[in-house]
Amino acid sequence: MQTILASASPRRRELIKLIDADAIFISADVDETVPEGIENENAPEFLACKKALAIAKNYKNDLVIGCDTTVFIESIPLGKPKDRTEAFYMLNLLSGRSHKVITGCCLCLNGKTLSFSVESSVYFFDLSQETINEYLDTQEYVDKAGAYGIQGKGSLLVEKIEGDYFNIVGLPVSMLNKRIKEFLNENNC
């Protein structure tokens, strides 16, 4: 049995190695539209399962892990910005406030699934337009939920966090490791 991470994220690919150094990666090319009726804060878990199941159908005897991370401010999801203008809007919205980062995870093996979410809170300093533009000049916002990467220069925007740092990066390693062990044990692996 091998571990497969259904993700193209370089951050997740690096972090999964803390759990399984031999993990392999297969990008899940799925439509990330969330159907009506699914609460915003349940969307990351829904999308994580969609990604994991898309890969698991071809790898039934392997442990497939799907993940999705979304930033929420007052229950409003902030995905990946389409461009610099949208990134500026997002960072301005986050300025001086707290927001939630929710990562949904889904494990698939032998037709069985286990899904869960991990939530962390991030508090931003008050950000001037100059500070936001300086950060945007780094291009770090590209392909990042909420338009920032806490593992890079985005950390300079953050006053404090509550919860799992790695969850904010995109993979809640300690909880994921715990749940993998439980899942494998329940499935006699």
Active site residues: 68
Specify the long-range contacts of residues 184-189, CB closer than 8 Å, at least 24 apart.
184/63, 184/109, 187/109, 187/110, 187/112, 189/1, 189/63, 189/109
Please name every residue paired with 70 in a beta bridge, in sequence order, or none if there are none: 102
> Packing angle between helix 84-94 and helix 129-137, nearest 10 degrees?
130
* Element holding 56 (H helix, E strand): helix 43-56
